[in-house]
Chains A and B, each alone.
Chain A
Amino acid sequence: VTSRRVQTDEQELIERSKAGDADAFGELVWRYRDTVYTLAVRLVGPDLAGDVAQEALIRAWRAMPRFRGEAAFSTWLHRITVNTAWTLRKRAARHDAQPLDEMVVDTTLDHSTGPEKAGEMIELRAGLRRAIEQLTPGQRAVLVLRDVYGWSHGEVARELGISHTTAKVRLHRARKRVRTLLEEAS
């Protein structure tokens, strides 16, 4: 019941935002700020994530009248964020990334398996984050969207404006590079 109420509430906020109600959009920004920011961090690194997330939300606001609800609002926001990050990727390449480990990361890591196992998981995740940060922007985008967010090859290719084959090749190279970096680190 609560979930349905939240959904209805969100639908109302979307309709009001489409009609130009900035307060309603502000509520949506509040709800999705961490989601959008997290995706931005994964795609361009922490230094540029704020700019990308902010620009993505501004673009979303501008485009609200065109949102038809064919996809979930969160999916639509994700796509805008990906496109914004992709547009700004050249700026990302010029930045020295601040390590993600220094940022606040919330996780629902399962600690029921014991502290040792949980410790290993934390270490593995930190290693993975560091490895992903060392990929090229193109490889990182494909890897994050496919492996973390579960997008299909077709969706990844479409949103990044690359061919299906390029998406697959980049994914393969990105996974290999991550594996090599993990091996080197251990």
Chain B
Amino acid sequence: MFDRHREVCLRCQAEAAQLRSVSRDIGGLDDEVVRAPGGFHTQVMATLPQQDASDPRRPLVMRLVVRRAVVAVVVAVAMLAAILGRRVRRKE
């Protein structure tokens, strides 16, 4: 619907052209390199831990979901244990 509107709206066409121009200019920054500070390599190498199989790209949301699920399971198990313990004590 928006595309159809843009076909006839000169203002939107002009804005789209301006934004394309901004995008092209920003694209020109791709050949710039910011040098890492001196000692960066040494610093990284000094802090290398043991290798493991965790996925570094696992999104933060996923990690939070897993962490919350683990907490929920632990709480559920603790509550169940408390209920069962109370029942056992009552029977005694």
- Residues of A at the B interface (CB closer than 8 Å) are 20, 22, 25-26, 29-30, 33-38, 41, 46, 49-50, 53-54, 56-66, 79-80, 83-84, 86-87, 100, 103-109, 121, 124-125, 128-129, 132, 143, 147-150, 159, 161, 172, 175-176, 178-179, 182
Contact = CB atoms under 8 A, between A and B. Distances in A.
Given A54-B47, A108-B31, A176-B19, A33 B36 contact: yes
Interface centre among B28, B33, B35, B36 (most CB of A within 10 A): B36
Contacts, number: 130
B: interface residue count bin: 35 or more
A86 B61 CA distance: 11
B60 A161 contact: yes
Among A35, A107, A109, the most chain B Cβ lie within 10 Å of the Cβ of A107
22 contacts: A26-B41, A34-B33, A38-B34, A53-B40, A58-B47, A62-B49, A62-B50, A62-B52, A62-B54, A62-B56, A63-B55, A65-B53, A100-B34, A105-B32, A108-B31, A109-B31, A128-B26, A147-B23, A148-B26, A148-B27, A161-B59, A176-B19
B85 interface: no
A62 to B, nearest CB: 5
Nearest to B37: A50
Given A49-B34, A150-B30, A161-B59, 11 more contacts: A34-B34, A50-B40, A58-B44, A58-B48, A62-B56, A63-B56, A84-B56, A105-B32, A148-B30, A175-B23, A175-B26
Given A62-B56, A83-B57, A104 B34 contact: yes
B56 A83 contact: yes
Nearest to A80: B56
B9 interface: no
B19 A37 contact: no
B54 A63 contact: yes
Interface of B: 18-19, 22-23, 25-37, 40-41, 43-45, 47-57, 59-61
A142 B47 CA distance: 30
Nearest to A82: B57
Contacts of A148: 26-27, 29-30
Nearest to A50: B37
Nearest to A159: B57
A168 to B, nearest CB: 11
Contact of A150 (B27, B32, B48, B60): B27
A56 B40 CA distance: 13
Contacts of A36: 36
Contact of A175 (B19, B34, B40): B19
